[in-house]
Structure 1
Amino acid sequence: MAQTSSHVDSEDTVEYWLFPNISEDGDQLQELEAFRTRCFTFIQDQSQNYIWHEDSINLKVVTKRTAGDNPPHLYGKTRYGCNVEDEWFIVHLFRSFSVTENDVVIRIVDSDGDFLLVEAADILPRWANPESCINRVFIHVGQVHMISIADRPSSITPLPSGQPSLMDAVHIVRSMPHLTIAPSPIQEPIRQRIEKCVSQIDSSLHRCNVFVPASVAALLQSYPTLVAPAVHAFCQRDASQLQVIRAMRFFPPETRVWTSVTFTKCLYAMLVHRNYQPDHRTGWTLPPNGDPKRTGSELGMKLAVGFELLANEESLHQQGGDYSLEMDSRWNRFLNTLKEKGFFQDFLESSQPYNELLEKAREFYMNSVGVEGPAKKPVILRLMQSVFADIEKFKKEEAHLPADDDDSWLSVDPATLDQILGDKFGLLGVDDDEAKAEILPKLETFLHRKSDYEGLTPSSGRKKSRKLSHLAPPSASRKTSTLSNTSDVSQLSNHIGFDPDSFASAMQGILDFALPEDNWDLESNSSCLSSYSEEEEGGELVDKEMNNYMQTMDQELLSTDVLRTSVDNPTRKESVMSEGCESFSDVENFQPVKIDSAALESLLASYTMQRGGPGPASILLNQLNLPRSQISASKKQTD
């Protein structure tokens, strides 16, 4: 698999490449397979009983013959569905693995590209965008590495200025890590996001008691991760499977018992909200609505249907005889390597702990070699042979089952949503008057700026006003100095005394003595321009017509609330009513129009309606470099 695109086709898929330090003269295939075995053993040890929403980690061997221009590596792709925490758990596993295998270089992307940098979006260097970051972001020895682009033409650097090849990029990270390691302001938010994912694994689970056939209860006790494929099988069923569901040949409802099952909250929500009306001929009996056991009985019925569909699909596949794992020489070689590495510990063959590890090894191998279709599904029928459904035992345990977890988290009212957004984005603790006073000047300055076809460039670095500089986050004030030291490359050019940022700031300070030429009202501009066009008759007619048009528009504005809602300016109405160039003659008394309070209220209302999501209002306010806390405080004041 030589594919190394920056963007994944599917929005719910993450791709990863692991580049070990493989010698060119040795047996690359053997070295890669040994490396994959070490990786699988490490991942299995770190993710025991972790419930993957859809796919687990899988790794394919890509030798030099099939890698093209890329170095030999392991490649994998995982669908995480609607549970994005799986994606970050994969990052955690590979980041930890890179510490034990300190010569491996890892690249991880999803449909957003190098999504690791999204966590540090506010403090990235100016050159960093989805296109320029291709083949520049990696994980090495537990740290994020960025192959930076020179920030000025005078920089003397061994790093490539254009898009590097993967071969060159991996070599640079491995041989010059001191030049590519990302600064701590970028490392820290990524580390916090990873730690948050790991710390919330237990809190993301939901435990409840369900009424299921005894065989299902035995399978879930021995293989708790089977709950995920069973839920997906139930939710993805179609009309062609109704006959299978009606028969319930493998898991009849007559043997139902109560047992405790652990879901992820995502799987639990999927199962609860998927309606299902069973066929009365099947034998499903449910308590009436309102009965405390109603929910557990419904969930158990849905789980049993999911297991039935998986078992039926496996049965059909066995009859077809398309693929036999035992006849695969690569699987036998992989299994023998696991035994030599002590993967199965000292468990006896065919024992329950041995079978659990064997099933996980089988699943990993199936995903890695690219087996699709029913052969990739869990072998429910084979696993049933390794468990014993002791109905009497389950009956005795029913009295000691733990209580169900509270599922009130399924319902979120507007007040709770506001609190969640407040906790996530920090929307509290700012003085209302001060926040509004800071937003207005920034908004006015923003509206007077011009942009190219790519949009406005944030002015946090060069044109920042002294009055507003204290609003920037602490990291923003250090952005230029910190990110310019991303590597030791910048030290090579320190003897050059020209600092473009300081030069631009100095020039801006000089130009600040000029008159505010772009803040005059449109009426005075249009009327003053007519005084310069007296030499041309055609121009004079156009200016006179435009002047009349602007005066008419000013009169219409005076009859509305637009000017009345502006920040108090007693001379504004008189200046609008003046004619000709009378307003221009009094430059010393010039006062530009301030931002309309109604416009600000509308902007903040639009931001609130977005509820933290992307949209025009959030994009505009982000361009102003306004913290979300000040935006929220201004919204509370306008309310």
Structure 2
Amino acid sequence: MEENMKFATVEDTVEYRLFLIPDKPGDPEERREILQKYIERIMTQFAPMLVPYIWQNQPFNLRYKPGKGNVPAHIFGITKFGDNIEDEWFIVYIVKQITKEFPELVARIEDNDGEFLLIEAADFLPKWLDPDNSANRVFFHQGELCIIPAPKKSGTVSWLPTTPPTISQALSIISTHPEKILASESVRAAVNRRIRGYPEKIKASLHQAHCFLPAGIAAVLKQRPRLVAAGVQAFYLRDPIDLRACRIFKTFLPETRIMTSVTFTKCLYAQLVQQRFVPDRRSGYKLPPPCHPQYRAHELGMKLAHGFEILCSKCSPHFSDSKKSLVTTSPLWAGFLESLKKNDYFKGLMEGSVQYQERLEMAKNYFQLSVNRPESSHAMSPGEEILTLLQTVQLDIEELKKEEAYLPPEDDERWLDLSPDQLDQLLQEAAGKKEPEPTSKGREENYDLTQVSESMKAFISKVSTHKGAELPREPSEAPITFDADSFLNYFDKILGSKSHESDSDDLDEEDSKCLDSDDDLDLETQEPGEEASVKGTLDDLKSYMAQMDQELAHTSLAKSFTTQKQMEPLSQTTNDNSEEEDSGTGGSVMTPVDVDLNLVSNILESYSSQAGLAGPASNLLQSMGVQLPDNDDHRPTSKPTKD
């Protein structure tokens, strides 16, 4: 199954692969050296974006993976993004840009849900593409999304396999026919819409907040800002066993707390803020009253201190020194550092300055995690990394307290509170639809209810199968036509109406010419015995329908529908004929039902019963682009109070 590139099996995990084209056979060691050079070039070129990025769980990383079976040697990476889905889409952006900067590389990306790029563009995919035949068809090439098509008939296109291609076949197709595999504009737009805004979007995803933290944590985060993610996750996923270490703090004492500024991602900040937690009395972490102006800073610091204490409690202070691998001893470090300088990573900072050293430490950490990553058995855990930093960093609590007066302002956290209008806007953007126009009072008065009936008719006319119903994509651009008379004539023809019957729904000579030739051919080619059997069945069906009409004529069912108004009085002759024909039904004439009016009335009644919440009526209409105005006619009024 290696040929079909199994989906990632770990939850919330994304896998990405980079293949070199054309795929020429050669010495495996030579191939390894070539791909290793590409890894160094990629990680160096994208270091300015990747180094300061705070990952939820694991960073973007690349490593060489040897060939196996029909899958050639390639560059492989895997990242667990956890609860922050933005990490996954940032990786999509990075992979897309890699193929743009290195046209000889072809990328494939998937997660535990499978082809999530196709899921994102599900509304615009060709009908032939489904999960059963999508294996090894979706790639990034030269910065564009590509989908290898399937031939309509076997053998019609020589370079397209009839079954899902293998990786080798896919790479060969991309190399020889790059212009014929480009995904449609709508599919590419759907994916590009999801990654729109990067790399500027990275800064918008961060949140700065003041935290009342132990000085040790403040010093660690100054050296390794990314460790805030590990601290938040440790607190967020804590269990009773973890909290045993927080009864009495051994590493981060509450007496050393200072006010500092911490940078979170919005996901991490929300996870930390939204959880209610009361610290153990023995811990020494006491909170001021909620009305205190710095209550939030004390609460955030207390929670973060618990997370860091949990991390450190899971490892021994005397862990193996073999894990403390020095970055500068790696033969790749010198070339990596030189490449960073060429890419202006240090932004012209003076070598040896405080800011230069901070960026250098971040680069070393990034190099250790992403470029020179050791085997998992020898990798340092976050707790071990924190303890190592505490042994090397020099703590000057008095100096840190002086910096409290120069802290940058906190970011506004109003983004945590989402109004219903903002939620609707986000849902509209996620669905790729235009923002709904604000409904004014004048627009409500002039609202055209024919949109509702026409949209429903368009919906009914679409294909409906066991897989679901198709929705009209742009009902407002194309007028809806529905010929009710023609529809009834076709239906009557199928039921086998006879020319001597005098019902108003009979087919006349002109209507009979509108039938498709295929329908006429089917009736003409039927055998006599088969035709007689069909006619007998249809006659029985019409008999049942006539009996049902007679029974319903004596009920109040007709009163539940709104009927059409008679445009002119019926003539006496017509009345006489009707009385003769309907004598079996008690002489009552059923007035035709106004289908449109009943449809609109029922939908509006259903919409009103939703009371502003989501429901079948609003969901169905909105999916077809119809926006109903708010129901302001039946607002509850307050009862007058007695004086």
Residues 422-465 of structure 1 show CA distances to partners (whole Å, capped at 9, x for unaligned) of 666422268666764233123135336664433445677xxx9x
Q: Pick one of 316, 321, 332 that aligns with 1:337.
A: 332
Over the matched positions of the two proteins, sequence identity in percent amounts to 30
Q: Pick one of 413, 416, 438 that aligns with 1:410.
A: 416
Q: Pick one of 50, 54, 58 that aligns with 1:51.
A: 54
Cα 1:636–1:187 shift into 2, 3 Å: farther
Larger radius of gyration: 2
Q: Pick one of 381, 387, 390 that aligns with 1:384.
A: 390
Cα 1:607–1:98 shift into 2, 3 Å: farther
Cα 1:509–1:396 shift into 2, 3 Å: closer
Pair 1:626 & 2:621 matched? no
Other-structure match for 2:297: 296
Query: What is the CA–CA distance in structure 2 between the aligned matches of 1:110 and 1:581, rounded to whole Å?
Result: 69
Query: What is the CA–CA distance in structure 1 between the aligned matches of 2:359 and 2:298, rounded to whole Å?
Result: 30
Asked if 2 retains the 8 angstrom alpha-carbon contact of 1:211 and 1:296, the reply is yes
Return the offset for 1:212. Answer: 0.3
Return the offset for 1:272. Answer: 0.9
Aligned AA (2:65): V
Cα 1:536–1:38 shift into 2, 3 Å: closer
Cα 1:41–1:549 shift into 2, 3 Å: same
Aligned AA (1:470): A
Pair 1:128 & 2:129 matched? yes
Asked if 2 retains the 8 angstrom alpha-carbon contact of 1:259 and 1:401, the reply is yes
RMSD of aligned residue pairs (Cα, Å):
4.6
Asked if 1 retains the 8 angstrom alpha-carbon contact of 2:312 and 2:383, the reply is no
Moved more, 393-402 or 22-31: 22-31
Cα 1:510–1:96 shift into 2, 3 Å: same
Count matched residues.
Answer: 566
What aligned pairs does 1:25-104 form with structure 2 within 5 A after superposition? 25-26=26-27, 27=29, 28-64=31-67, 67-104=68-105
SS of aligned partner of 2:199: helix
Other-structure match for 1:487: none
Return the offset for 1:391. Answer: 1.1
Aligned AA (1:38): R
SS of aligned partner of 1:267: helix
Residues 126-152 of structure 1 show CA distances to partners (whole Å, capped at 9, x for unaligned) of 223333332111111111111122457
Return the offset for 1:61. Answer: 2.4
Asked if 2 retains the 8 angstrom alpha-carbon contact of 1:95 and 1:142, the reply is yes
Pair 1:16 & 2:23 matched? no
Q: Pick one of 459, 463, 467 that aligns with 1:454.
A: 467
Cα 1:222–1:516 shift into 2, 3 Å: farther
SS of aligned partner of 1:109: strand
Other-structure match for 2:509: none
Aligned AA (1:407): E
What aligned pairs does 1:226-625 form with structure 2 within 5 A after superposition? 226-315=227-316, 319=319, 321=320, 324=323, 326=325, 335-341=330-336, 342=338, 352-364=358-370, 369-371=375-377, 375=381, 379-418=385-424, 420-421=426-427, 425=433, 426-428=435-437, 436-447=449-460, 451-456=464-469, 470=478, 516-518=489-491, 547-553=546-552, 558=557, 561=560, 563-564=561-562, 593-594=595-596, 596-601=599-604
Pair 1:177 & 2:178 matched? yes
Aligned AA (2:110): V
Return the offset for 1:410. Answer: 1.8
Asked if 1 retains the 8 angstrom alpha-carbon contact of 2:107 and 2:139, the reply is yes
Other-structure match for 2:522: none
Residues 314-344 of structure 1 show CA distances to partners (whole Å, capped at 9, x for unaligned) of 327x54x5973649xxx999x3123234357
Return the offset for 1:243. Answer: 2.8
Query: What is the CA–CA distance in structure 1 between the aligned matches of 2:359 and 2:463, rounded to whole Å?
Result: 67
Query: What is the CA–CA distance in structure 2 between the aligned matches of 1:457 and 1:234, rounded to whole Å?
Result: 46
Moved more, 446-455 or 100-109: 446-455
Residues 37-82 of structure 1 show CA distances to partners (whole Å, capped at 9, x for unaligned) of 3333234332231111222113342212xx3221211222222222
Return the offset for 1:217. Answer: 0.9
Cα 1:243–1:556 shift into 2, 3 Å: same
Cα 1:209–1:553 shift into 2, 3 Å: farther
Query: What is the CA–CA distance in structure 2 between the aligned matches of 1:579 and 1:217, rounded to whole Å?
Result: 95
Query: What is the CA–CA distance in structure 1 between the aligned matches of 2:606 and 2:108, rounded to whole Å?
Result: 40
Query: What is the CA–CA distance in structure 2 between the aligned matches of 1:7 and 1:638, rounded to whole Å?
Result: 53
Query: What is the CA–CA distance in structure 1 between the aligned matches of 2:121 and 2:210, rounded to whole Å?
Result: 41
Other-structure match for 1:505: none
Aligned AA (2:389): L
TM-score (norm 1): 0.75
Cα 1:95–1:471 shift into 2, 3 Å: farther
Cα 1:230–1:170 shift into 2, 3 Å: same
Cα 1:512–1:149 shift into 2, 3 Å: farther
Query: What is the CA–CA distance in structure 2 between the aligned matches of 1:131 and 1:609, rounded to whole Å?
Result: 40
SS of aligned partner of 1:262: strand
Cα 1:325–1:100 shift into 2, 3 Å: farther
Return the offset for 1:97. Answer: 1.4
Structure 1, unmatched stretches of 5+, are 473-507, 584-588
Return the offset for 1:297. Answer: 0.5
Return the offset for 1:555. Answer: 5.7
Aligned AA (2:247): R
Structure ranking higher on relative contact order (CA contacts 8 Å, 6+ apart): 1
Query: What is the CA–CA distance in structure 1 between the aligned matches of 2:175 and 2:536, rounded to whole Å?
Result: 73
SS of aligned partner of 1:18: strand
Aligned AA (1:412): L
Return the offset for 1:96. Answer: 1.3
Other-structure match for 1:167: 168
